[in-house]
Amino acid sequence: MDQSIAIDLAREAIWTAVLIAAPILLVGVAIGLTIGLLQALTQIQEQTIAIVMKILVMVFVAAYMFPWMTLRMIEYSTYLITSIPVRMIL
């Protein structure tokens, strides 16, 4: 296996992982900022409120996005498996 092929495979794997994780992480950051702003405005400094809200919303987004995330993983796996004969010849 050539170095460029290994680099391409690693880059594609990292990009797929980022693409799959992005919706959950972005929602978690948005909820964290919103809750933090509300806590600062109301001077409520209870950390469990932020943690519980983030966990609940992130679980909901993960459940909602699960079919899309599964489709992306299947597409990457199919690409990886179907390109094995081509990459072995090179």
When pLDDT is averaged across residues 55-64 and rounded to a whole number, the result is: 95
CB neighbourhood size of 5 (10 A): 14
pLDDT on residue 72: 95
What is the residue-averaged pLDDT of the chain?
Answer: 88
Number of domains present in the structure of the chain:
1
Matching residue, tokens 């948005």: 30
Residue 52 has pLDDT above 70, yes or no: yes
When pLDDT is averaged across residues 47-61 and rounded to a whole number, the result is: 91
pLDDT on residue 90: 58
* 69 CB-near residues (< 8 Å, 6+ apart): 20, 62
Matching residue, tokens 């929602």: 27
Query: What residues make up the domain containing 64?
Result: 3-89
The model's pLDDT over 73-87, given as tens digits with 9 standing for 90+, comes to 999 999 888 877 766
